[in-house]
Amino acid sequence: MSGEIFTDSSMLEIFRAEVETHVESLTSGLLALERNPGDTSHVDEMMRGAHSIKGAARIVGIDPAVRVAHVMEDGFVAAQNGKLTLRPEHVDVLLRGVDMLNRIANASKAATVDWKSFDDEALPLVSEITAVLAGKPVAAADASMKSAPSPSLAAAETVAVETVTAETAPDRSAHDLTIHFPARIDTAAAENARLEFVAGLDQQRGSIRLDLSKTVDLDATGLAFLAAIPAQIAQGGPVVELSGVGTDLKNLFKATGIDQLYSTGGH
């Protein structure tokens, strides 16, 4: 795994909800393509579904799901752009990807999960999906996997289509950390902030400030992220504060009770 998994139940529920929401459309869309490869009417929906699952998995740090959803998304994007016609041989391996995402989501309900076993299964599956979509023999991909080191999640994500990020530029020599959020806190922004937040905990920062001075909007994932942060702080851990909160966000935080979770009350 590339980092710690957020075990807060609300965050995992978001991930499971995303999988549950999109698995049905992914399955039905792929089966429709298997019957008629020329029917591309479901490709856009399947791309969005894979993208949403990838983002939710990144938030909770479940890398096997990120990897599988990411390579599936790439295939759908290629189909969107007319670079790939999804045929029965593609559909078969993509359906296996859907099945794995569903199994990962179900496994996340357990108190403890052997994520390494899912990682060990995800890497060859991702390699196989990549090979099949590229029209290459699967055996060649297997040989490549054995001769090359396992790709890091960071390397796998270099081609991810993520245009909104949380800009973080803390002074690493200081004892405090400030995480600067963009205008909209969406799945990608929340994931970047999560990584910074986990790093701040590891570095035993005295305080972690979430700077929302540029933020004017946030989606459900961003809201759940902010609500879950206080639960990650152990006794004696850093003080976590919100700063630069505008009037609209203040009202939202008050309505949802988030203002009561932070020492600053969302000022």
Q: What is the CATH number for 237?
A: 3.30.750.24
Place of tokens 């795994």: 1
Query: How far is residue 91's CA from residue 88's CA, in Å, rounded to a whole number?
Result: 5
Task: Judge whether 221 lies within some domain.
Answer: yes
Instruction: Give the pLDDT band of residue 141 (cuts 50, 70, 90).
Output: very low
The most confident of the ranges 82-86, 135-139, 216-220 is 82-86
Residues 54 and 124 in one domain: yes
Mean pLDDT, rounded, for 124-149: 67
Residues 130 and 200 in one domain: no
Token duo for residue 92: 């078969």
pLDDT of residue 160: 31
Residues 189 and 145 in one domain: no
Residues 216 and 124 in one domain: no
pTM of the model as a whole: 0.57
Residues 120 and 239 in one domain: no
Range of the domain at 242: 176-260
Residues 89 and 189 in one domain: no
CA angle 79, 84, 90 (to 5 degrees): 90
Residues 130 and 41 in one domain: yes
Burial class of residue 95 (count of CB atoms within 10 Å of its CB; 0-12, 13-18, 19+): middle
Task: Judge whether 123 lies within some domain.
Answer: yes
Mean pLDDT, rounded, for 130-149: 59
Mean pLDDT, rounded, for 255-261: 79
Residues 236 and 122 in one domain: no
Phi then psi for 170, rounded to 5 degrees? -75, 155
pLDDT of residue 58: 84
Q: In this structure, are residues 221 and 59 in contact, taking their beta carbons and an 8 Å threshold?
A: yes
Q: In this structure, are residues 49 and 22 in contact, taking their beta carbons and an 8 Å threshold?
A: yes
Residues 142 and 23 in one domain: yes
Task: Judge whether 82 lies within some domain.
Answer: yes
Instruction: Give the pLDDT band of residue 108 (cuts 50, 70, 90).
Output: confident
Q: In this structure, are residues 45 and 72 in contact, taking their beta carbons and an 8 Å threshold?
A: no
Task: Judge whether 202 lies within some domain.
Answer: yes
Mean pLDDT, rounded, for 250-255: 83
Range in 15-19, 65-69, 238-242 with the lowest mean pLDDT: 238-242
Looking at the 3D structure of the chain, how many domains does it have? 2
Residues 146 and 231 in one domain: no
CA angle 81, 85, 91 (to 5 degrees): 120
Residue 30 clears pLDDT 60, i.e. is over it: yes
* % residues pLDDT > 90 (the chain): 28
Range in 35-44, 160-169, 255-264 with the lowest mean pLDDT: 160-169
Residues 148 and 32 in one domain: yes
